[in-house]
Amino acid sequence: MSRVPHEPADDPDRIFALQEEVDQLKEAVASHAVVDQAIGMVVALGRVTPDQGWEVLKDVSQHTNIKLRNVAELILIWGRAGEMPPDIRVRLEDALDSYGPTQIPGAPVEWTEQ
């Protein structure tokens, strides 16, 4: 019985490439979870749909020139600690305002007479 030439398990370069791919996939899964959690916060606090929450994150990312995952992390930190860089907060409020009236926790309350 002859051995199949050049099996993937015998190729160190192939093993290394597969390990790198696995690491990239793990990072992608972790990143996706962070973004999904941030979308959930935006949906709950901004009273928008999940699709709008995604658009809000993209808007903040694009207008602040910060990677979307990093914006998502800042939003999660804000949820835990109540702190957010002012420029991110302003952009977040503006993005949410484009989807309808919202009230961000910690923002000044605007009273309207009925």
Separation between Cα atoms, residue 41 and residue 60, nearest integer Å: 14
Please give the chain's pLDDT, 114 residues, in tens. Answer: 555 555 555 688 888 787 888 777 777 666 778 999 999 999 988 888 899 999 999 999 999 999 999 999 999 999 899 899 999 999 999 999 887 665 555 666 555 555
The pTM of this model reads: 0.66
Per the listing, tokens 């962070």 go with 34
Q: Using alpha carbons, select from 71, 68, 60 the residue that is nearest to residue 95.
A: 60
